[in-house]
């Protein structure tokens, strides 16, 4: 086996491995950016794939040409000749090569610029979110021209399928980055300024997001999810979110609310009660969310209790302190929180 | 309505005839004709007194239009002062004229009284017959002083002992804006959100009604307002996320008859089918709730902490509401109705008739609580029943009080937040750069939170047709910090540094033409002018300054005719009365505090005080002079150390 | 020519490795180590929780341990966090963004109505005080309250731990005159301060101080 053949094999391995990996990613990883599901991400994904394939093709062709050049048997020169005979034919290759390269690069540049302009700004969005990043969670406010339709939630964004959503990003402390890989590229979240990005999903589903810029100890536990709902489901979700928390239906639940008000209300808000804290996530509809602590735990009763009992063990250093609550109080607060559908 | 009824210039120091009062029942045109007579006589009077004034200031030309008039109902006796504003229309005008431009220079202290409580003294004393009634800041003592005896001894005193928790819940000092007399009772509000009625004869508590929960940041500082058998009270707590309201209580029992919230559903705001705001953007269902983000209206304030006026003909009461809460605007998108607004309500049922929001989506703490003076004017050739309101947002409004139409809105103090009020829509045009962003310092916002003018009430004189007001010339650097709502703590978030606007003076006292929307004259003061104003038929206006000067100005020219430095700064409301000895007295509290403390770091700012000063010509009174060595009789003073600590 | 296949394999492995790493991103990793400070604070917090807090405020010779030290005194990070809480827990709304008083008392001067040693300041926050100061006991855990105390201590008005009696009088240990009469001599920290401090003191001397500030000092 010659050296050239081994190079070809290696190149083929790279291509096949990449393709196989992408298939794996497509099937398994919620954080894979190799396939996207909406116009905010698709042009960039196509561009990425396209440029990748062009690069591979260029590499293959250039490698092949190089190999051909190396392997081509040179005409045996006359050892007695005074000078090497001039060979003017090579210049044509250079002209042709430069020309083709220029055309390809120019085409790539045009494609890139067009892609950037296609995804840069939302077109005709009537839905706007303010997302504030904090160590280590995401506050989400749904804006609306009608102020009574404005509400707060956290860590889980619902969007209607097929509608572009404008997202204004602000930081409450350090630099973060807003990143929903399957819906689009990253956008940094910088203290003191408002960056704008947008989301649009063309298929219903849950798209996981993650802080994309190291922001402290629990950076890894600063996830969010974007749930793309069919329009009717989305409208129902909005109506649910706008509702105030129900009044406690039993004395046990009322005791949980009372304990919550004393211990937790300075940081958390529950609309319809006295709790109006803005330091932590709005919990008015906590049970409508699929995770706890910004994607750290699935939102199950057991996890909720565990989180209340010792948040610092689960997410050390997070702003949620260890609560001085008895087991009974913990149970009762958890029971109250579970009524927040 | 003949010339004989106009002995206005008769120079009798004991005159008590109230020409203006007798006009209560006249129609608007009747008033105007009378007014013309007044102009004629007054102009003549001014020239004849010019020598006495001798200030060199040129008298201002009389306004080119017919003079505004007012209804001086309920027509209290000329020598008495039974409510904070003296009349329903809130004119703070006294028909007394024994003290006038010619002799005011001879005004001297007749006697004084210290009530022993610290903190801002914002009230006017009341005088009925031979008795003067005082209400103090926290701990909200009440005193009755016997004016007929030498030394004006204490007749009775009353200590209601409000809970000291309220001290730390009152945003702007533990002030009280005074009491009201009704049906043999002195009615006033306690800082811990109770209303009390005290028997005016004995000082015994008649009733006490709990109106709110002080531990949740609800306090009461305003002066009750009485019409017939109803007393109207409202809450303070605009910086504490309180839910603002106005309530009507029965004068005799203290029973709450109705309560109208400033935000919330139409039912809670007492809005029914009769409610007809003039401008379309204030028309709709449940706007007190839907102009707020979900769930935020109930902590949205709109406290009712200042003045109420009443029009007997329309049977409407008028009052303003405070800033929205939290003070950080980005937390509450929407117009935030009905905060920073004025309400007209049926005095009997409390149902709203119309409302007008001065500052939609208020971003600078421009409460709409300042007084509404009810005047009758000729505007564009037509008689209009109007209210005149100097808003904290530095615009003076002349509004048709029958329907809420803004006839005129012109800035009266230095401001840069708005390029003007669009009279078509009633909307202020906001300068975009003046809108604060959280965490970003916004320099040079004018006026600041305390406004171009705060609660300190203005006065109106039918003799000049002008409104007199102490105003501010202040700006601020503003940084917003988004806030959590934690009951009983500030729901506030405005970090401010305040300083004087161009000119360098903090205060100014002005005469305003409410028909033309123009300043007629003004007198600049280095310190804040945070006292109420008093206008008298002697063509004088009185006011005080935060550094303690108490002045009398010529109502026509603005010339300073008399000044006296008092023990502490003046933020009280001057009033005037006829004593049992038939002399005219002028009284004012000296005790700086309240919002005037924003300038307390100025060199020359006085210490606190608690002294009532009473002035008369030459200082004559039965309360002093040779031979009176001790106070006769009198009850001991009320305990005044509640919660204030015997020792620091 | 053995190097080439090896490098090609290495490139492929690198690519695969990257993909594996990407895959790892989707799974939360356990055992993330935290900052040292919060861990230390929580252990101190347990100690602090044992502080007896039932004493009557302002009573001389109090039985509680007035010498208890604030675990965060002088810790710049804790002071910064304390300042943050001072603003976000609405303390600044009453005591002022400069902590110089408003609805509530000035926290930068030496007058302490309820004593200015750290543990007393802690008690004031923890239990609340009668003139409107809310009790933060259930809402704020001990270490957060200590951080607030550390911030207040950093403002220079508090008394050192153990100086209970002196603090009641508004004095510092070693002071023999009322603080108002002093200019720069008492505070060791002020010895090295520049002329700006002196200028401030001179102004203070020029306009005589008024009575000690009390509740409701300004709006």
The whole-angstrom distance between B220's CA and the closest CA on chain A is 21
User: A279, B484: Cβ pair inside 8 Å?
Assistant: yes
Closest by Cα among C41, C46, C35 to C82: C41
Question: Is B47 or C106 the better-scoring residue by pLDDT?
Answer: C106
Q: How many CB pairs under 8 A join B and C?
A: 100
Chain mean pLDDT for chain B: 89
Judging contacts by C-beta atoms under 8 Å, the chain A residues touching residue B333 are 143, 147, 150
Q: What is the pLDDT of residue B110?
A: 95
Give the mean model confidence (pLDDT) for residues A216-229. Answer: 95
Instruction: Tell me how far apart the alpha carbons of residues A121 and A115 are, in angstroms, rounded to a whole number.
Output: 11
CB-CB neighbors (< 8 A) of B169 in chain C: 103, 132
B625, pLDDT greater than 90: no
Distance from CA of A113 to the nearest CA of C (A): 27
Q: pLDDT tens digits for A81-100?
A: 666 666 666 788 888 889 99
Distance of alpha carbon A309 from alpha carbon B105, whole angstroms:
76
Q: Give the whole-angstrom CA distance, residue B507 versus residue B505.
A: 6
DSSP A273: B
**Segment A316-326 mean pLDDT:** 90
Distance in Å, alpha carbon of C195 to nearest chain A alpha carbon: 35
DSSP B27-96: -HHHHHHHHHHHHHHHHHHHHHHHHHH-S-PPPPPPPSSPPPB---TT---TT-B-STTSSTT---EE--
* Nearest CA-CA distance, residue A295 and chain C, Å: 9
Positions of B marked active-site:
239, 323, 365
Nearest to A148 among B241, B289, B487 (CB): B289
Report d(CA A183, CA C120) in Å as an integer. Answer: 54
Residues 6 or more apart whose Cβ sits within 8 Å of residue A67:
A4, A7, A8
Whether C89 and chain A come into contact, CB under 8 Å, resolves to yes
Chain A interface disruption, residue of B291, B292, B295, B480, most A CBs within 10 A: B295
Mark yes or no for CB contact B291/A244 under 8 Å: no
Give C193→chain A minimum CA distance, Å: 32
Q: Tell which C residues from 48 to 77 touch B, by Cβ distance under 8 Å.
A: none
**Distance from C50 to chain B by nearest Cα, in Å?**
27
Q: Is the dihedral of CA A35, A39, A40, A45 positive or negative?
A: positive
Sheet strands (E) in B138-254 = 142-146, 154-158, 180-182, 185-190, 194-199, 205-210, 225-227, 230-234, 245-250
Average pLDDT of the segment spanning B455-476: 97
* Contact (Cβ atoms closer than 8 angstroms) between residue A200 and residue A218: no
Minimal Cβ distance to A25: which of C8, C19, C28 = C19
d(CA B405, CA B388): 12
Neighbours of chain C (3+ CB pairs under 8 A): A, B
| Nearest in space to B583 (alpha carbons), one of B9, B15, B7 | B15
Distance CA B438, CA B285 (A): 31
Backbone φ and ψ for B133, nearest 5 degrees, come out as -115, 130
Measure A59 CA to nearest chain C CA, in Å: 13
Question: Which residues, including other chains, have CB under 8 Å from residue C150's CB and lie 6 or more apart?
Answer: C70, C72, C73, C74, C75, C78, C79, C82
Sorted by sequence, the CB contacts under 8 Å of residue B355 that are 6+ apart come out as B275, B277, B282, B337, B338, B341, B342, B343, B344, B404
Closest C-alpha among B350, B339, B258 to residue B296: B339
Task: Indicate whether A247 pLDDT > 80.
Answer: yes
Lowest mean pLDDT among A27-31, B22-26, B123-127, B371-375: B22-26
CB-nearest partner of C141 from A31, A221, A324: A324
pLDDT at B631: 65
Q: Is C104 on the interface with B (CB under 8 A)?
A: yes
Q: Of B333, B339, B440, B491, which to mutate for an interface test with A (greatest number of A Cβ within 10 Å)?
A: B333
Strand A223-229 and strand A156-160: pairing?
Answer: parallel
Question: Which of A130, A146, A147 to mutate: most B Cβ within 10 Å?
Answer: A147
How many Cβ atoms sit within 10 Å of the Cβ of residue B93? 26
- Cβ-in-10-Å burial (0-12, 13-18, 19+) of B37 comes to middle
Mean of the pLDDT values across residues B311-330?
A: 97
Residues of chain B found within 8 Å of residue C59, distances taken between Cβ atoms? none
In this predicted model, which residue has the larger pLDDT, A116 or A241? A241
CB distance from C140 to chain B under 8 Å? Answer: no
User: B-chain residues within 8 Å CB-CB of C113?
Assistant: 645, 648
Residue among C88, C103, C132 whose CB faces B484 most closely = C88
Q: Which phi and psi (to 5°) does residue B94 adopt? A: -110, 135
Nearest to B295 among A143, A265, A271 (CB): A271
Residue B110: partners with Cβ closer than 8 Å, 6 or more residues away: B585, B614, B615, B616, B619, B620, B621, B623, B624
Q: Is the Cβ pair C216, B495 closer than 8 Å?
A: no
Helix, strand, coil % in chain C, rounded to nearest 5: 45, 0, 55
pLDDT per residue as tens digits for the range B493-518? 999 999 999 999 999 999 999 999 99
Does pLDDT of B10 surpass 60?
Answer: no
Q: Decide if A173 touches B, using CB distance below 8 A.
A: no
Chain C CB contacts of A280 under 8 Å are: none
Q: Are B225 and B310 in contact (CB under 8 A)?
A: yes
- A28 at interface of C, judged by CB pairs closer than 8 A: yes
Which residues does A93 contact at the CB level (< 8 Å), separation at least 6?
Answer: none
CB contact under 8 A, A321 and C8: no
From first to last of its 219 residues, what are the pLDDT tens digits of chain C? 444 445 555 555 555 555 444 444 443 333 333 333 333 344 444 555 555 454 544 444 555 566 788 999 999 999 999 999 999 999 999 999 999 998 999 999 888 888 888 988 999 999 999 999 999 988 999 999 999 999 999 999 888 887 776 666 655 555 555 445 444 444 443 333 343 333 333 343 344 444 444 433 333
Any CB–CB contact under 8 A between A7 and chain C?
A: yes
Strand segments, DSSP code E, in B191-262 are 194-199, 205-210, 225-227, 230-234, 245-250, 256-261
Burial class of B329 by CB neighbour count within 10 A (0 to 12, 13 to 18, 19+): buried
Cis peptide before B447 (omega within 30 of 0): yes
- Is the omega angle on the peptide bond into residue B326 within 30 degrees of 0, that is, cis? yes
Task: Compare C210 and B279 and report the one with higher pLDDT.
Answer: B279
Q: Which residues of chain B make contact with A242, given a CB cutoff of 8 A?
A: 294
ipTM of the complex: 0.85
* Min Cα separation B291/chain A (Å): 6
Least confident of A229-233, B39-43, B522-526, C86-90: B39-43
Report whether pLDDT(B372) > 90: yes
In angstroms, the CA A10 to CA C14 distance is 13
A242 at interface of B, judged by CB pairs closer than 8 A: yes
Residue pLDDT, tens place only, B593-624: 999 999 999 999 999 999 999 999 999 998 87
Question: What are the φ and ψ backbone dihedral angles of A286, each rounded to 5 degrees?
Answer: -55, -40
* Closest residue on chain C to B168 (Cα): C132
Cα gap A323→C45, rounded to integer Å:
12
Residue B53 predicted with pLDDT over 60: no
Choosing among A130, A146, A148, A240, which should be mutated to test the B contact, i.e. which has the most B CBs within 10 A?
Answer: A148
Write down the pLDDT at residue B52: 32
Contact predicate B608/B128, CB 8 Å? no
Partners for A (CB, 8 Å, 3+ pairs)?
B, C
Contact C8 A17 (CB under 8 A): no
Judged by a CB distance cut-off of 8 A, whether residue A235 touches chain C is no
Asked if the Cβ–Cβ distance from C215 to B489 is below 8 Å, we say no
Q: Of the given ranges (A30-44, A112-126, C20-34, C157-171), which has the lowest mean pLDDT?
A: C20-34
Q: Which residues contact B106 (CB under 8 A, 6 or more apart)?
A: B617, B618
What is the Cα–Cα distance from B70 to B309, expressed in whole angstroms? 12
Helix (H, G, I), strand (E, B) or coil at B522: strand
Would you call A6 an interface residue with chain C, using a CB distance cutoff of 8 Å? Answer: yes
For chain B, percent of residues with pLDDT exceeding 90: 84
Which residue reads 């430069």 in tokens? A98
Q: What does the pLDDT average to over B470-484?
A: 96
Which pLDDT does position B391 carry in this prediction?
98
pTM of the entire predicted model = 0.84
User: Cα separations (Å) of A203 from A36, A229, B252?
Assistant: 10, 8, 69
Contacts A134 to C, Cβ<8 Å: none
A77-91, A268-282, B345-359: range with lowest mean pLDDT: A77-91
Looking from the CA of A173 toward its CB, the CA atoms found within 13 Å total 18
pLDDT the model gives residue A299: 96
Supply the pLDDT for residue B135. 97
Q: Which chains touch B (3 or more CB pairs under 8 A)?
A: A, C
Q: H or E element: which one contains C31?
A: none
A149 contact residues in B (CB cutoff 8 A): 294
Strands B107-114 and B93-94: unpaired
Collect all residues from B whose CB is shorter than 8 A from any CB in C. Answer: 118-119, 138, 164-174, 239, 450, 479, 481, 483-484, 486, 488-493, 495, 593-595, 597-598, 600, 603-604, 607-608, 643-645, 648
Cβ contact A324–C32 (<8 Å): no
The predicted pLDDT at position C166 comes to 67
Query: Could you read off the pLDDT of B79-138 as tens digits, one per residue?
Result: 999 999 999 999 999 999 999 999 999 999 999 999 999 899 999 999 999 999 999 999
Q: Which residue has better confidence, B222 or C24?
A: B222
């Amino acid at each position: 086996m010659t050296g050239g053949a081994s190079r070809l094999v290696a190149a083929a391995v790279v291509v096949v491995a990449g393709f196989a990996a992408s298939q794996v990613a497509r099937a398994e990883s919620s954080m894979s950016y190799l396939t996207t599901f909406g116009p905010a991400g698709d042009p960039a994904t196509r561009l990425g794939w396209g440029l990748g394939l062009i690069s591979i093709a260029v590499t293959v062709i250039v490698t092949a040409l190089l190999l051909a050049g190396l392997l081509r048997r040179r005409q045996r020169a006359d050892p007695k000749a005074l000078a090497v005979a001039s060979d003017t034919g090579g210049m044509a290759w250079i002209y042709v090569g430069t020309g083709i390269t220029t055309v390809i690069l120019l085409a790539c540049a045009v494609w890139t610029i067009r892609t950037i302009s296609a995804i840069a700004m939302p077109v005709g969005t009537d839905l706007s979110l303010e997302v504030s990043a904090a160590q280590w969670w995401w506050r989400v406010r749904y804006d609306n021209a009608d102020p009574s339709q404005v509400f707060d939630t956290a860590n889980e964004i619902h969007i209607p399928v097929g509608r572009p959503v404008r997202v204004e990003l602000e930081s409450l402390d350090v630099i973060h980055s807003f990143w929903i890989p399957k819906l689009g590229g990253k956008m940094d979240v910088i203290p003191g300024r408002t960056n704008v990005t947008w989301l649009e999903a063309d298929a219903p589903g849950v798209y996981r997001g993650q802080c994309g810029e190291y922001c402290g100890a629990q950076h890894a536990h600063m996830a969010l999810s974007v749930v793309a709902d069919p329009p009717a489901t989305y409208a129902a979700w909005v109506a649910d979110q706008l509702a105030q928390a129900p009044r406690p239906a039993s004395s046990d639940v009322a005791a949980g609310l009372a304990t919550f008000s004393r211990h937790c209300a300075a940081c958390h808000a529950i609309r319809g009660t006295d709790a109006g804290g803005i330091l932590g996530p709005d919990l008015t509809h906590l049970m409508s969310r699929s995770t706890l602590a910004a994607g750290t735990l699935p939102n199950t009763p057991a996890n909720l209790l565990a989180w209340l009992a010792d948040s610092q063990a689960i997410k050390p250093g997070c702003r949620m302190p260890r609560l001085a609550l008895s087991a009974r109080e913990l149970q009762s607060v958890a029971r109250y929180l579970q009524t927040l559908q | 309505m003949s010339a004989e009824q106009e002995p206005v210039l008769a120079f009798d120091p004991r005159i008590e005839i109230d020409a203006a009062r007798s006009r209560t029942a006249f129609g608007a045109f009747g008033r105007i004709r009378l007014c013309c007579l007044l102009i004629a006589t007054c102009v003549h009077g001014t020239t004849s007194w010019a020598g006495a004034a001798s200030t060199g200031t040129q008298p201002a030309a009389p306004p080119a239009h017919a003079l505004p008039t007012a209804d001086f109902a309920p027509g209290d006796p000329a020598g008495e002062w039974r409510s904070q504003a003296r009349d329903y229309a809130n004119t703070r005008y006294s028909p007394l004229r024994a003290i006038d431009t010619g002799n005011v220079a001879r005004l001297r202290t007749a006697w004084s009284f210290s009530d022993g409580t610290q903190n801002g003294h914002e009230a006017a004393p009341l005088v009925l017959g031979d008795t003067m009634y005082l209400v103090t800041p926290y701990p909200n003592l009440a005193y009755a002083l016997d004016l007929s005896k030498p030394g004006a001894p204490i007749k009775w005193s009353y200590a209601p002992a409000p809970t000291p928790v309220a001290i730390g819940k009152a945003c702007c000092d533990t002030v009280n804006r005074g009491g009201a007399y009704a049906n043999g009772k002195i009615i006033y509000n306690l800082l811990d959100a109770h209303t009390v009625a005290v028997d005016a004869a004995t000082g015994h508590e008649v009733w006490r009604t709990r109106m709110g929960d002080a531990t949740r940041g609800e306090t009461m500082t305003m002066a009750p307002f009485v019409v017939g058998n109803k007393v109207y009270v409202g809450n303070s707590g605009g910086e504490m996320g309180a839910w603002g309201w106005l309530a009507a209580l029965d004068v005799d029992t203290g029973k709450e008859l109705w309560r109208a919230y400033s935000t919330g559903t139409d039912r809670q705001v007492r809005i029914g089918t009769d409610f007809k705001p003039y401008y379309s953007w204030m028309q709709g269902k449940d706007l007190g709730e839907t102009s707020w983000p979900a769930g935020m209206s109930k902590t949205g304030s709109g406290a009712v902490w200042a003045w109420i006026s009443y029009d007997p003909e329309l049977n409407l009461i008028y009052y303003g509401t405070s800033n929205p809460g939290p003070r950080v605007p980005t937390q509450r998108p929407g117009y935030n109705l009905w905060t920073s607004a004025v309400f007209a309500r049926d005095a009997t049922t409390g149902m709203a008739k119309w409302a007008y929001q001065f500052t939609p989506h208020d971003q600078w703490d421009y409460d709409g609580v300042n007084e509404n003076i009810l005047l009758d004017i000729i505007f564009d050739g037509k008689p209009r029943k109007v209210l005149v309101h100097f808003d904290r947002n530095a615009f003076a409004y002349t509004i048709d009080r029958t329907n809420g139409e803004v006839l005129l809105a012109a800035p009266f103090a230095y401001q840069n937040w708005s390029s003007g009020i669009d009279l078509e829509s009633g909307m202020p045009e906001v300068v975009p750069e003046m809108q604060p962003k959280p965490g970003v310092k916004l320099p040079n916002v004018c006026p600041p939170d305390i406004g171009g003018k705060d609660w300190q009430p203005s006065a109106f004189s039918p003799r000049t047709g002008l409104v007199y007001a102490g105003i501010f010339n202040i700006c601020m650097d503003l940084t917003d910090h988004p806030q959590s709502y934690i009951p009983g703590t500030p729901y506030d978030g405005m970090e401010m540094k305040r300083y004087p606007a161009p000119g360098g003076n903090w205060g100014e006292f002005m005469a305003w033409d409410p028909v033309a929307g123009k300043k007629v004259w003004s007198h600049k003061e280095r310190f804040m002018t945070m006292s109420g104003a008093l206008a008298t038929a002697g063509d004088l206006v009185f006011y005080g300054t935060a550094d303690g000067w108490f002045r009398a100005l010529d109502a026509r020219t603005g010339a300073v005719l008399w000044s006296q430095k008092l023990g502490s700064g003046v933020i009280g409301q001057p009033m005037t009365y006829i004593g049992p000895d038939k002399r005219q007295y002028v009284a004012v509290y000296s005790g700086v505090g309240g919002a005037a403390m924003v300038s307390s770091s100025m060199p020359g700012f006085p210490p606190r005080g608690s002294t009532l000063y009473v002035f008369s010509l030459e200082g004559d009174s039965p309360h002093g002079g040779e031979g009176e060595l001790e106070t006769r009789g009198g009850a001991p003073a009320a305990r005044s150390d509640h919660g204030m600590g015997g020792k620091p | 020519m053995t190097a080439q296949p090896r490098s090609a394999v290495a490139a492929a492995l690198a690519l695969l490795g990257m993909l594996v790493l990407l895959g790892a991103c989707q799974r939360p990793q356990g055992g993330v180590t935290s900052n040292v400070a919060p861990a230390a604070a929580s252990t101190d917090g347990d100690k602090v929780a044992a502080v007896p807090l039932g004493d009557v405020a302002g009573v001389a010779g109090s039985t509680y341990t007035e010498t208890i030290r604030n675990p965060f005194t002088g810790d710049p990070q804790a002071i910064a966090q304390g300042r943050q809480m001072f603003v976000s827990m609405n303390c600044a709304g009453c005591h002022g963004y400069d902590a110089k008083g408003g609805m509530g008392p000035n926290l930068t001067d030496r007058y302490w109505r309820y004593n200015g040693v750290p543990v007393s300041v802690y008690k004031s926050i923890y239990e609340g005080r009668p003139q409107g100061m809310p009790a933060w006991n259930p809402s704020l855990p001990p270490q957060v309250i200590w951080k607030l105390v550390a911030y207040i201590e950093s403002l220079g008005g508090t008394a050192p731990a153990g100086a209970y009696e002196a603090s009641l009088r508004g004095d510092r240990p070693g002071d023999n005159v009322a603080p108002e009469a002093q200019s720069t001599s008492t505070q060791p920290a002020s010895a090295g301060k520049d002329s700006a401090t002196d200028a401030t003191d001179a102004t203070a001397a020029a306009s005589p101080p008024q009575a000690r500030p009390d509740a409701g000092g300004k709006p």
